[in-house]
Amino acid sequence: MKFCSNCGSPIQHGELPGEHLPRYYCAVCGTIHYENPKVIVGCLPIWEDKVMLCKRGIEPQYGLWNIPGGFMENDETVEEGAVREMTEETGGNVRVLGLHTIYNVLPVNQVHLHFLVELVDLNYSLTEESIDIQLFKEEEIPWREIAFASSRFALKRYFADRQQGLRQTHVGTYKTR
Amino acid sequence: MKFCSNCGSPIQHGELPGEHLPRYYCAVCGTIHYENPKVIVGCLPIWEDKVMLCKRGIEPQYGLWNIPGGFMENDETVEEGAVREMTEETGGNVRVLGLHTIYNVLPVNQVHLHFLVELVDLNYSLTEESIDIQLFKEEEIPWREIAFASSRFALKRYFADRQQGLRQTHVGTYKTR
């Protein structure tokens, strides 16, 4: 961030009265430019005793397996965003079962929310974002080829919950200090 | 948003290849300026059969009652942010019990996360942000003077859960379309 998005002047960075953290701000028009974490919304799709994974057709982590997800947009709920990402990446039809995981990814300032969803049918298909889509039993999961820590967290917690007959929401963090 | 924060040129708004929504973008340096929802983190503080409410000493909703909360910052987890807001607004010491509610506030593009926490002791005090702090039994809650819908949602769900002996995470939305 180098220029004020309100007036185009070069911006400053430092302490400000009333602010407990250093901020980017514009000394010309007075605008404070806050930076906050972004929300990633996604789904863990279930079919019978299997979960759906998608092989990523885009960077980052091209060619690795993932559960569907992406940046939450304005004007949508977390649930709507999760289902939208599911549709964009797989074309699949789902029923939302509940919020499954919240996962902090501190190095990139993201909060990942994954909903547990069940596939309504097997009408899904490859998309620009997914170069392969497969259903995996627990013992078939390619653990070493999972794209993101939040997906691994969601999968691990799902299988542990299933074994105990539980359905609950989990909170986790990548890179705890 | 009027100027590019990367190069200072006036920005455009419209369709872009590979983007499923219109975006702000800079035609000079090529930067896309995404706008995404922000995360509010907070606590619902419990002491015996009471909940803690704070009378807001800042706008918006000055003078109305609220549970502690505010914008999540970079470099913190959702739980750390919730406890930080609790400390800033009340100086209180808490133990986190779990994630209680996620609440979409569509008109302002916010996602509110509230943790259920219990007060460790009664060492809390007024702050610049809180001009009064009180503990309320359920029947004492000033429902008509609660500042935000997300606080009302968290309180209602807490009392309903308590009556049934449940502890669970709830997802809600203000202004469902």
Instruction: Tell me if chain B has a CB within 8 Å of the CB of A71.
Output: yes
pTM: 0.95
Q: What are residue A107's phi and psi, to 5 degrees?
A: -60, -25
Q: What percent of chain B has pLDDT over 90?
A: 96
For residue A101, give Cα distances in angstroms to A104, A113, A151, A152.
10, 6, 9, 11
B176 band by pLDDT with thresholds 50, 70 and 90:
low
pLDDT at A175 exceeding the cut of 90: no
Contacts of A125 (CB under 8 A, 6+ apart): A90, A91, A133
What is the bridge-based pairing of β-strands A32-33 and A23-25?
Answer: antiparallel
- Could you tell me which residues are beta bridge partners of residue A53? A134
**How confident is the model over A16-53, as pLDDT tens digits?**
998 989 999 999 999 999 999 999 999 999 999 999 99
In B79-118, the residues whose Cβ lies within 8 Å of chain A are 79, 88, 98-99, 102, 104, 106, 109, 111, 113
B90 band by pLDDT with thresholds 50, 70 and 90:
very high
Sign of CA dihedral B111, A168, B114, A22: negative
Instruction: Tell me if chain B has a CB within 8 Å of the CB of A59.
Output: no
What span, in angstroms and rounded, lies between the C-alpha atoms of B163 and A37?
35
Closest of A118, A60, A111, A63 to residue A86, by C-alpha: A118
Q: How many angstroms separate the CA of residue B177 from the nearest CA in chain A?
A: 10
What span, in angstroms and rounded, lies between the C-alpha atoms of A9 and A5?
8
What span, in angstroms and rounded, lies between the C-alpha atoms of B75 and B36?
18
What span, in angstroms and rounded, lies between the C-alpha atoms of A76 and B1?
21
For residue A86, give Cα distances in angstroms to A80, A125, B108.
10, 11, 25
Q: What percent of chain A has pLDDT over 70?
A: 99
**How confident is the model over A127-165, as pLDDT tens digits?**
989 999 999 999 999 999 999 999 999 999 999 999 999
Burial classification of residue A17, based on how many CB atoms lie within 10 Å of its CB (0-12 exposed, 13-18 middle, 19 or more buried): exposed
Contact B72 A106 (CB under 8 A): no
Contact A8 B3 (CB under 8 A): yes
DSSP A63: T
pLDDT at position B76: 97
Six-digit token string for A11: 């911006």
Query: What's the whole-number mean pLDDT along residues B152-167?
Result: 97
pLDDT at B177 exceeding the cut of 80: no
User: DSSP secondary structure string, B27-86?
Assistant: TTT--EE----EEEEEEEEEETTEEEEEEE-SSSSTTSEE-SEEEPPTTS-HHHHHHHHH
Q: Which of B6, B13, B76, B77 to mutate to test the interface with A (most CBs of A within 10 A)?
A: B77
Query: What's the whole-number mean pLDDT along residues A84-95?
Result: 97
Considering only alpha carbons, which residue of chain A is nearest residue B35? A74
Instruction: Give the nearest partner residue to B75 out of A78, A98, A109, using CB atoms.
Output: A109
**How confident is the model over B16-68, as pLDDT tens digits?**
998 989 999 999 999 999 999 999 999 999 999 999 999 999 999 999 999 99
Give ∠ CA A154-A105-B173 in degrees, rounded to 5.
70
Query: What's the whole-number mean pLDDT along residues A87-114?
Result: 97
Closest of A5, A108, A29 to residue A61, by C-alpha: A108
For residue B7, give Cα distances in angstroms to A11, B35, B155.
11, 18, 46
What span, in angstroms and rounded, lies between the C-alpha atoms of B164 and B27?
57
Confirm if B68 and B45 have CB atoms less than 8 A apart: yes
pLDDT at B103 exceeding the cut of 70: yes
pLDDT at position A176: 62
Burial classification of residue B31, based on how many CB atoms lie within 10 Å of its CB (0-12 exposed, 13-18 middle, 19 or more buried): middle
pLDDT at position B175: 80
Query: What's the whole-number mean pLDDT along residues B108-132?
Result: 96
- Is the N-terminal amide bond of B60 cis, ω within 30° of 0? yes
